[in-house]
Structure 1
Amino acid sequence: MSRYGVQRIGFAFLALTTLVVVVPILCVVGVVIVGGIQAISWEFITAIPRDGMKAGGIFPAIVGTLLLTLGTALAAIPVGVGGAIYLAEYARDTWWTRSIRLAIVNLAGIPSIVYGLFGLGLFVLMMKMGTSILAGSLTLAIMTLPIIISTGEEALRAVPTEFRTVSASLGGSRWQGIRHVILPQALPGMITGVILGLLRAAGETAPILFTVAAFYLPRLPQSPFDQTMALPYHLYVISTQVPGMPFSIQNGTAMVLLALVLSMNLGATIVRSYFRRRRQW
């Protein structure tokens, strides 16, 4: 067989693999949209739930999800970016740094329920934060740190060495080179890592189950030490714990969660594309 024939077979296999991955996702999204579009209304988005969550809206759950995502970002981004900079630019290649990288990779594969139990023991009980937005945000931040650190380090290492050499030859310190040269060039990749981590945090149920989520709380939180409803846990509750819940409300809630995650992803893509166009290599 000629190499062109092998190439065609390879392309066909890749196309088939893509269909196997994409088609089920489109089917799931289609079922959610068809089943939930009739529940979507202005009241559903902005109203407080009532009648045991069988009527009204999901506004507290939307606000709670946004607050948890914001708290996760505030806690995880500085630590994650700082850790990536240290591992990529300052740390020497020793058994200690290799152990740290191995631990980060292993932490990324730990089930989310384990992070939830860890957050319950550390933040809720030991540090006496109670079930609160603060405890939930810190738990989600710890869960997202491995993704942010790993992708951030790879993005920094992908910047050509010539940028560092030129910065040093012009008399700049190492930090000046990182701040003004390396970070702007690595920003698209780092933004990707941050968004991947935050999207995972926004859609998780197990960690917030023990640290922040309320079964039914028809009001908005007043401080970081309050409980709150959240879309992933709310979807779990109305799908499994509330008898007689209309199927349209379940799918409508899932549709709002998907729209929230996709809008965050779209915004991050626009920002990432902007910085990628400015990249000089």
Structure 2
Amino acid sequence: MAAETQTEGTDFGEVSRWKDRIFESVTLAAALFGIVTLAVLLVYVTIDAVGWLDLQFLTSPPHPLPEEAGIFPALVGSIVLMVLIALITFPLGVGAAVYLEEYASDGRLTQFIQLNIANLAGVPSVVYGLLGLGLFVQLINFGYGTLLVAGFTVSLLILPIVIISAQEAIRSVPDSLREASYGMGATKRQTIRNVVLPRSLPGIMTGTILALGRAIGETAPLIMIGVPTTVFGVPNGLFAKFSAMPMQIYTWSSYPDTAFQYGVVSAGVVTLLVVLLSINSIAILIRNKYQTVRS
């Protein structure tokens, strides 16, 4: 009887290990599929950009000739737009998350707000473009295709993502830390400022970085609010016309010349990816440094 029980236990252990190996292989294949696909795409685009991505391309305005075309105005416009979006989205998103998690009661109104925030995170970007067109252009009259209109419109697009990620980060802070702060005589405001926000900041930064990564590549909202496809100068104010790299790349892809469709477009895509990775890297370094100091 004991031998039979031992045999059944051995068989069960072998089956479990076999299932574990299958599960590990499936998850590894899923991870490698995404990584390899992205790597192939990057290599393909980078090869096409060779010979086109140089200092002249980065410092020159658009030109009808592919050899003279540049992305400088769109490059500056995208960077300025990202800074503006971050300045608008981060305080609004974190402030809303703090209120919903620390101050709002768990009533029907709060649940209604939470449900709508979750739904807004999945709304197509073109809908936010229509919202920006109706609200900021036609109602408030900020002007078609201005930097300020684009900043507010794209900020509305990523704001639900920032709020949700900030809520999750704040929710992950243990209640014992809050109770310890209250036990030391701290007020609720002091507890949030000195305990909750520092502990949740790495998670908040992660969500903000992902949201900004989505924002820099958006084209549909910019088209809806009338952002020019091509400009020849950098924006000199919040109400100035500007263009962004996705708009300029989209315009080049519609040119009949194959040199634009492959070489110039690929150089623009590589530039966009480099800017995106640079912004993400800087944000990640700031997040990690802050996390190290607090820990």
TM-score > 0.5, shorter chain as reference: yes
C-alpha deviations, 1:88-107, integer Å up to 9, x for none? 11111111111111111110
Equivalent runs, 1:150-165 vs 2, <5 Å: 150-165=164-179
Instruction: Find the aligned partners of 1:229 and 1:152 in 2 and give their Cα distance.
Output: 30
Instruction: Find the aligned partners of 2:226 and 2:187 in 1 and give their Cα distance.
Output: 44
Q: Residues 277 and 160 (structure 1 numbering): CA distance in 2 closer, same or farther, change over 3 Å? A: same
Structure 1 position 213, deviation (Å)? 2.1
Residue in structure 1 matching 2:76, options 54, 63, 85 = 63
* 1:96 lines up with 2:102 in the alignment: no
Count of matched residue positions in the alignment of Structure 1 and Structure 2 = 279
Q: Matched residues, percent identical?
A: 36
Indicate the residue corresponding to 1:12 in structure 2.
25
Q: In structure 2, what residue type is equivalent to 1:145?
A: L
Structure 2 residue runs of 5 or longer lacking an equivalent are 1-13
* 1:146 lines up with 2:160 in the alignment: yes
Q: In structure 2, what residue type is equivalent to 1:119?
A: G
Residue in structure 1 matching 2:221, options 171, 188, 207 = 207
Structure 1 position 273, deviation (Å)? 2.0
Instruction: Find the aligned partners of 2:171 and 2:230 in 1 and give their Cα distance.
Output: 46
Q: Residues 218 and 53 (structure 1 numbering): CA distance in 2 closer, same or farther, change over 3 Å? A: farther
Structure 1 position 243, deviation (Å)? 2.2
Indicate the residue corresponding to 1:263 in structure 2.
278
Structure 1 position 212, deviation (Å)? 5.1
Equivalent runs, 1:173-252 vs 2, <5 Å: 173-211=187-225, 213-240=227-254, 242-244=255-257, 246=259, 247-252=262-267
Q: Is the 8 A contact 1:49 1:56 kept in 2?
A: yes
Q: In structure 1, what residue type is equivalent to 2:271?
A: V
* 1:109 lines up with 2:122 in the alignment: yes
* 1:167 lines up with 2:150 in the alignment: no
Structure 1 residue runs of 5 or longer lacking an equivalent are none
Q: Is the 8 A contact 2:66 2:264 kept in 1?
A: no
Q: Is the 8 A contact 1:212 1:228 kept in 2?
A: no
Structure 1 position 196, deviation (Å)? 1.4
Give TM-score, length-normalised by structure 1.
Answer: 0.95
Q: Is the 8 A contact 1:238 1:245 kept in 2?
A: no
C-alpha deviations, 1:139-159, integer Å up to 9, x for none? 011111101100001000101
**Secondary structure of 1:203's aligned partner:** coil
Q: Residues 245 and 120 (structure 1 numbering): CA distance in 2 closer, same or farther, change over 3 Å? A: farther
Q: Residues 217 and 84 (structure 1 numbering): CA distance in 2 closer, same or farther, change over 3 Å? A: same
Instruction: Find the aligned partners of 1:71 and 1:53 in 2 and give their Cα distance.
Output: 31
